[in-house]
Amino acid sequence: MKTIDLRSDTVTRPTPEMREAMMKAPVGDDVFEDDPTVNELQAKVAGMFGVEAALFVPSGSMGNQVCLYTHSKPGYELICDDNAHIDWYEVAAPAALSRLLMRPIPSNGGVPDPDLIEAAIRPVNIHSPETGIISVENTHNRHGGVIVPLAIMRRIAAIGAKHNVKCHLDGARIWNAHAATGVPLADWVVGFDSVSVCFSKGLGAPIGSAILGTREFVTRARRTRKMFGGGMRQVGIIAAAAIWAIDHQLPKLGEDHRRARRLAEQIARVPGVRLIPDPPPTNIVVIDVSERKIDTEKALARMKEQGVLIVPFGPGRLRAVANRDVDDDAIEVAAEVIRKTLAA
């Protein structure tokens, strides 16, 4: 029985063509900045997003943390969504590495309220921490791949500029926002002082992310990356996979979105099951089963016995993520298994 793995879009495996590109990649020493394939990737991504420079890093979490550290000083306050990846899934790194005080504020289903963000910025006085950074996640993982609208992104960037507060975009899945809306990648990052983008999620590369910004910021961030242990050597073999993924998988991301909607349609047939949001805007399907009082651990075990893998996603919730290793036929099988399990 073949396993249908919907735990995340990080579970994809390199295609034979991607492996071929990796094998043939010319390499150098990236710490000395002379790995030609890394340099090609960085120039390519910077051009796609319309920024001055990019820096290859091993992971999305490192990308976020390199940006936060490079922007900050100890005691700064970081404003973010109360379900943000940097707050939930990065092991308290803002506090541990950058000595940042987290100030999570609620959003509207993953879409930040610019007025709440502006109200959260501290007035300058000797008693309070200084608001140093605003972080936005787009698309938003814990809110089911929701897309933060471009108009909201622009308002937040303007608020940051008005108050001299740096704005960071956790754009691990910004590719999905681009694929779903057709809005050019460069438009999503206007006004943001730093951006992190991931190659190992929807694009399907085995490893790697990039951070984006001005040439001056990226020069400083390169030093931070080295300090965090992210200085890599003949890493062109990995950068080649990211280049291949951009060229071949980015145009296909809409297929993941279509399959996620198909999966959601079938699961929504179960009485008492809700999708958050409904329909899924990109490739993430969050399933709320709290009304049915389902034992999620037992449900996941039954699905696994039938070859379908999804994950728990908080009390009474499950998550399935469409990815390029799961085709239309597999989505139909998975939908049937999940639907019957939840309906039992």
Closest by CA to 80, choosing from 121, 51, 124, 130, is 121
241-260 pLDDT tens trace? 999 999 999 999 999 999 99
Closest by CA to 12, choosing from 235, 225, 248, is 248
3-state DSSP of 108-151: ECCECCHHHHHHHCCCCCCCCCCEEEEEEECCECCCCCECCCHH
Report the CATH number at residue 301.
Answer: 3.90.1150.10
pLDDT of amino acid 254 = 97
State how far the Cα of 267 lies from the Cα of 273, in Å rounded to an integer.
8
Helix (H, G, I), strand (E, B) or coil at 241: helix
pLDDT of amino acid 344 = 85
Q: Are 306 and 288 members of one domain?
A: yes
| Final residue before a domain boundary, out of 248, 263, 288 | 248
Closest by CA to 315, choosing from 290, 344, 278, is 290
Q: Are 72 and 172 members of one domain?
A: yes
- Taking 80 as the threshold, does the pLDDT of residue 1 lie above it? no
159-198 pLDDT tens trace? 999 999 999 999 999 999 999 999 999 999 999 999 999 9
Residue 47 falls inside a structural domain: yes
Q: Are 262 and 300 members of one domain?
A: yes
Residue 9 falls inside a structural domain: no
pLDDT of amino acid 295 = 92
Give the CA-trace dihedral at 117, 119, 123, 128, to 10 degrees: -70
Give the residue numbers spanning the domain of 195: 16-248
Residue 70 falls inside a structural domain: yes
Quote the pTM value: 0.96
Question: Count of residues for the chain?
Answer: 344
Residue 3 falls inside a structural domain: no
State how far the Cα of 186 lies from the Cα of 184, in Å rounded to an integer.
5
Residue that wins the pLDDT comparison between 298 and 344: 298
Angle, helix 16-24 to helix 236-248, in steps of 10 degrees: 140
Residue 8 falls inside a structural domain: no
Residue 219's CB is within 10 A of a number of other CB atoms, namely 13
Q: Rounded mean pLDDT of the chain?
A: 97
Residue 2 falls inside a structural domain: no
Domain count, the chain: 2
Token pair of 101, please? 């005080």
Quick check: 83 and 62 in contact, CB under 8 A? no
Report the CATH number at residue 52.
Answer: 3.40.640.10
Q: Are 211 and 295 members of one domain?
A: no
State how far the Cα of 341 lies from the Cα of 270, in Å rounded to an integer.
10
Q: Are 241 and 139 members of one domain?
A: yes
Helix (H, G, I), strand (E, B) or coil at 287: strand
Q: Tell me the percentage of the chain whose pLDDT exceeds 90.
A: 98
